[in-house]
Amino acid sequence: MVSAGDFRNGLTVEIEGEIFQVLEFQHVKPGKGAAFVRTKLRNILRDSVVERTFSPTDRFENAHIDRADMQYLYDDGDMYNYMDNNTYEQIQLSHEDAGDSMKFVKENETVKVCSYKGKVFSVEPPTSVELVVTETEPGFKGNTATGAKKPAIVETGAQVMVPLFIEQGEIIKIDTRTGEYLSRA
């Protein structure tokens, strides 16, 4: 059990039968009245964000989220297929459940599959990946004084904004959390 006064960013708790992750919290002590905790919570099963206030003495059950390393095998059109590297057991996850998290992941890469009580609800890709640029316009040297960017399509089909000097066929490093170009690989 954890009290609302002990909330920290990233903590997962069960509130009224739903699983929430604390995104933000603020302890408020007004001049009049009792103190309270203002929070921004993400419902991890529905992927929605709500704002709620609690008394610091309100108590909630800790929700244990299992994160398993699995290998992404392939996309069969409707489902993503993964394999547990330890047991070789395969699971499937729909495109809706995976969301945008798979747009930078190549086949045979290791991802973290998140589940609660056996129900898989999301996939966490590696924080950065190296992908080949398959399509982009040719760049021109010296045509701008600022950090101008152009669109590029990478091997997974995702679009990334890259500097003008990046050419087709180059390997680039991408931050999967923001979708931004980091560097040449």
**Given 124, 142, 171, which residue is the final one in a domain?**
124
Q: How confident is the model at residue 142 (pLDDT cuts 50, 70, 90)?
A: low
Catalogue the E-assigned strands of the chain. 2-3, 12-15, 18-28, 36-43, 48-54, 59-62, 66-75, 79-84, 90-94, 110-116, 119-124, 128-136, 149-154, 159-163, 171-175, 180-184
Instruction: Pick the last residue of a domain from 104, 124, 144.
Output: 124
Check which CATH number belongs to the domain holding 151 and give it.
Answer: 2.40.50.140
pLDDT in tens, 33-52: 889 999 999 888 777 889 99
Residue-wise pLDDT tens digits, 55-77: 988 999 888 888 889 999 998 88
Q: How many domains does the chain have?
A: 3
What is the token pair recorded at 117?
């009580």
Residue pair 130/185 in contact (Cβ under 8 Å)? The answer is yes
CATH number at residue 21: 2.30.30.30
For residue 154, give its domain range.
128-184
Q: At which of 62, 81, 106 does a domain end?
A: 62
Q: Name which residue leads in pLDDT, 47 or 4.
A: 4
- pLDDT, residue 38, reads 92
User: 138 and 109 in one domain?
Assistant: no
Residue 132 has pLDDT above 80, yes or no: yes
Pair 164, 180 in one domain: yes
| One domain for residues 86 and 114 | yes
The top-scoring range by mean pLDDT among 27-36, 44-53, 145-154 is 27-36
